[in-house]
Amino acid sequence: MQATRDFSHYVKHLGSGLAHIDLAVEGVSCAGCISKIERGLSAIPDVTLARVNLTDRRVALEWKEGALDPARFIDRLAELGYKAYPFEAVTAEAVEAENSRFLLRCLGVAAFATMNVMMLSIPVWSGNVSDMLPEQRDFFHWISALIALPAAAYAGQPFFRSAFNALRTGNVNMDVPISIGVILTLATSIVETIGHAEHAYFDAPIMLLTFLLVGRYLDQNMRRRTRAVAGNLAALKAETATKFVGPDEISVVPAAAVMAGDIVLLRPGERSAIDGTVIDGRSEIDQSLITGETLHAAVEPGSEVYAGSLNISGSLRIRVSAASEGTLLAEIQRLLDHAVQVRSRYVQLADRASRLYAPVVHVTAFLTMIGWLIAGASFHDSIITAITVLIITCPCALGLAIPTVQTVASGAMFRAGVLLNSGDAIERVVAVDRIIFDKTGTLTLPEFDVVNSAAVPADVVELAGRLALASHHPVAAALARAAGAKSPLPGITEQPGQGVRGILKGEEVRLGSPTFCKADGLANEILSRDPEASVVAFARGEKRYVFAVCQSMRPDARAVIAALQKRGVAVEIISGDREPAVRAAAEMLQIPEWRAGVTPADKIARIEELKRQGFKVMMVGDGLNDAPSLAAAHVSMSPISAAHLSQATADLVFLGNRLAPVIASLDHSRKALHLMRQNLYLAVGYNFLAVPIAILGFVTPPIAAAAMSGSSILVMLNALRGRHVPQETL
């Protein structure tokens, strides 16, 4: 039964007879890849566009509708050496991309206006001390107004909107003092220009907007990039299902295209993408991603199978169920919703700073005006002085202080193998003093590995690996991978539920269960030493070998745990797995605190208990059963191999087989928060120096402009120090 691949779900019809598809491609990294892929795909007749986006690691393809099957592009890319997956952009990502483009447009307008207003301001400043005619000055002021007003109205939109939304809900954010400052300054400048005054401040507010937009754009771009990576991951996980389109005809379709009531085929070694009920076939399934339990569960017609289960031995026909209320997934979703609500009460550093900042600034400006009135100054002069206080305190450096550090730090963490899922993750990671690890798939590698290949002759390992290629069983797949086997042996037959057998040079070779290979003695010996292992036996003639296969620890797990403990972070294991397995892992990693057989609800209970004791808990987990506790913890992290829901919930996602990114995220975040604080002090300290000058009425437009750009550049340069964090080798 050969399955056809149906990608029509992903194809967009552009009209005018063209079809479009986006593919996420793995392993694109350089100029060579770009031209190789683009030439390779353009060579297919009827392809009208093939364009690689290196930033997002995607290929956009357009072709004459009906002329080609999209599956052909994926095959062609495979021939070129790239793994590709059809990709569907999520709405959130499109919104982020549009925001990012809007901010860049605002930035372009603001930067243009700043440069041109500056071109007009500098002659006025120098003219004021030499011999500029008042008419010329007025002319320059009016042209400045002509540029600055529309530019501020356009480029200020992100700030005005956000300030308006905050005020409407009775809050204050950083955008409120920014908006008030910009509007008041421009209004005053117009009044001053009408009155033929010597000073007008058209340059300061538009320059302020430019600097702030740089910060906003950097911040937005970081978020867009993370989203793009997350989107690709979703595509790489290839949530497909093999659906019956006829009694004996199957087709591989995206999981999104499967409806309730459809019947899907789940072959050994495949992970289910849907929830459903078994209607035909018997097998064992591995539900470790869902429950954390590593013992396989037996399923037969009538059994429930959840998305994320791995099928081990036999083929299953499953009827897809939509009504999943009351199931495990629904329960997990409910816990998750609750936990997410609780956490959103966290207030970010930037918002806390602005809540303090805004009232202080406005009160100071007001007091300045009153003070000058009492001192006998005219009403006009008092107001002008009060507004210069607002201009000089406008939180330019403050607005850049945090986004610049976040951008630099997230770039550094990206290189260390950590992706940021949420904007405030850095701030929350810093407070962590206790880390809870899940065992299966988090401390251990997500895939099976042969642990005793050194005890078996190399030629036997190689032969067994080639034999293993004939089987779909995950344990056999692990053996084939470990042996690096590429070419399957000819004439191998599979005995369902038993193993595979064949004839090699007149001798019979078998690979499968110990009973099938008559190697029970050897197998029991291994199992008594390591009860966690799965065994697969190999027989050639009279010779017998047994391979022990298990999920081994991540290579640097021991070193990472020790390094965490050295940093004063307490570590514990909470797992849904059986006690002996968890105990063995805890002993090996020297973790004194561990809990086994824990349900999702109990995991949350434990986290809540620790929270009440005042601990800031980081949860590191990958299973579906971890998703609610990931959301309940102060901050959470998932490996890239994690279940979808968990990955979406986690604040940070780490790549690769090593656990070192956990340490890296901690170190980088600590450094980043240090720099954020430093930047806030720099920005506030600058205000402390500048405000008295402004209150005394000595601030002229050139001083305001110089002070603003000086402090912004200082803060940006300081943020760049976040690029380098000393990393210990583990």
Partner 1 sequence: MEVIVFLVPLALLLGLFGLLGFLWSLKNGQYDDLDGAAWRAISDDDGTPARPVELRSESRP
Lookup result for tokens 């939509």 = 322
Answer for which of 31, 129, 375, 454 binds partner 1 (CB under 8 A) is 31
**Residues forming a β-bridge with 64:** 18
Judged by CB under 8 A, does residue 81 bind partner 1?
Answer: no
In the complex with partner 1, which residue's Cβ is closer, 108 or 580? 108
727 scored as a contact of partner 1 (CB under 8 A): no
Amino acid at 595: R
What is the per-residue binding string for partner 1 in 653-682, x denoting contact by CB under 8 A?
------------------------------
Among residues 372, 382, 446, 403, the alpha carbon closest in space to that of 638 is found at: 446
- Looking at 4, 8, 35, 515, which residue binds partner 1 (CB under 8 A)? 35
Number of residues that bind partner 1 (CB under 8 A): 27
Return phi, psi of residue 338, to 5°. Answer: -65, -50
Check residue 30 for interaction with partner 1 (CB under 8 A). yes
Q: Is 139 in the site for partner 1 (CB under 8 A)?
A: yes
Smallest CA-to-CA distance from 291 within 553, 584, 597 is with 597
Element (H, E) at 355: helix 349-374
Name which of 199, 174, 196, 201 is nearest 185 in CA terms: 201
Binding segment for partner 1 (CB under 8 A), chosen from 30-38, 69-77, 199-207, 266-274, is 30-38
Q: For residue 242, what are the β-bridge partners? A: 252, 265
116 binds partner 1 (CB under 8 A): yes
Least Å distance between CB 84 and partner 1?
A: 16
- What burial class does residue 408 get, using C-beta atoms within 10 Å of its C-beta: 0-12 exposed, 13-18 middle, 19+ buried? buried
Q: Which of 21, 37, 50, 109 binds partner 1 (CB under 8 A)?
A: 109
Per rule CB under 8 A, is residue 145 in the interface with partner 1? no
Which residue, 153, 172, 152, 151, is CA-closest to 163?
A: 172
Based on CB atoms, which residue is closest to partner 1, 380 or 723?
723
- Check residue 143 for interaction with partner 1 (CB under 8 A): yes
Buried b (16+ CB within 10 A) or exposed e, 240-252: bbbbeeeeeebeb
Among 6, 10, 41, 56, binds partner 1 (CB under 8 A): 56
Nearer to partner 1, 129 or 454 (CB): 129
User: Under the criterion CB under 8 A, does residue 105 sit at the interface with partner 1?
Assistant: yes
Please say which residue, 29 or 378, places its beta carbon nearer to partner 1: 29
Please check whether residue 558 is in contact with residue 589, taking contact to mean a CB–CB distance below 8 angstroms: yes
Closest CA to 123 of 209, 200, 184, 188: 200
* Site membership for partner 1, residue 149 (CB under 8 A): no
Q: Give yes or no for residue 570 binding partner 1 (CB under 8 A).
A: no
Query: Segment contacting partner 1 (CB under 8 A): 112-120, 312-320, 395-403, 650-658?
Result: 112-120
Contact 110, 151 (CB under 8 A): yes
One residue of 34, 71, 233, 340 binding partner 1 per CB under 8 A: 34
Q: Does 8 bind partner 1 (CB under 8 A)?
A: no
- Calpha distance 669→663 (Å, rounded): 10
The C-alpha atoms of residue 641 and residue 82 are separated, in whole angstroms, by 20
Q: Does 45 bind partner 1 (CB under 8 A)?
A: no
Distance of closest approach, residue 55 Cβ to partner 1, in angstroms: 4
| Contact flag: residue 52 with partner 1 (CB under 8 A) | yes
Nearer to partner 1, 30 or 323 (CB): 30
Applying CB under 8 A, which of residues 8, 14, 27, 55 lies at the interface with partner 1? 55
Phi first, then psi: what are they for 495, rounded to 5°?
A: -105, 105
Closer to partner 1 at the Cβ: 13 or 101?
Answer: 101
**What's 576's DSSP letter?**
S
Write phi, then psi, for 456 (nearest 5 degrees).
Answer: -115, 140
Lookup: tokens for 180: 């008030």
Per-position b or e across 288-308, b if 16+ CB within 10 A of its CB: bbbbbbbebeebeeebebbbb
Q: Is 119 or 456 the residue whose CB approaches partner 1 more closely?
A: 119
Residue 602 appears among annotated catalytic residues: no
Distance of alpha carbon 509 from alpha carbon 501, whole angstroms:
6
The minimum distance between CB 54 and partner 1, in angstroms, equals: 3
101 binds partner 1 (CB under 8 A): yes
- Report the alpha-carbon distance of residue 108 to residue 213 in Å, rounded: 9
If DSSP codes are grouped into helix, strand and coil, which group holds residue 189? helix
Stretch that binds partner 1, among 105-113, 203-211, 251-259, 399-407 (CB under 8 A): 105-113
Beta bridge partners of 593: 572
Of 25, 37, 120, 479, the residue at the interface with partner 1 (CB under 8 A) is 120
What is the torsion angle, in degrees rounded to the nearest 10, for the CA atoms of residue 624, residue 627, residue 629 and residue 635? 140
Report the 10 Å Cβ neighbour count for 198.
14
Smallest gap from residue 125 Cβ to partner 1 (A)? 16
- 108 forms part of the interface with partner 1 (CB under 8 A): yes
Binds partner 1 by CB under 8 A, chosen from 18, 44, 53, 595? 53
610 contacts 619 by C-beta, under 8 angstroms: no
Active-site residue identified among 438, 556, 577, 622: 438
Query: Of 71, 104, 153, 238, which one interacts with partner 1 (CB under 8 A)?
Result: 104
Question: Which of 34/605 has CB closer to partner 1?
Answer: 34
Pair 442, 289: CB distance under 8 Å: no
| Contact between 541 and partner 1 per CB under 8 A | no
95 forms part of the interface with partner 1 (CB under 8 A): no
> Residue 576 in contact with residue 625, Cβ under 8 Å?
yes
Rounded distance between C-alpha atoms, residue 620 and residue 635, angstroms: 9
Using the contact rule CB under 8 A, the part of the chain among 81-89, 100-108, 251-259, 263-271 near partner 1 is 100-108
Interface with partner 1 (CB under 8 A): 30-32, 34-35, 39, 52-56, 101, 104-105, 108-109, 112, 115-116, 119-120, 133, 136, 139-140, 143, 147
Give catalytic residue positions. 438
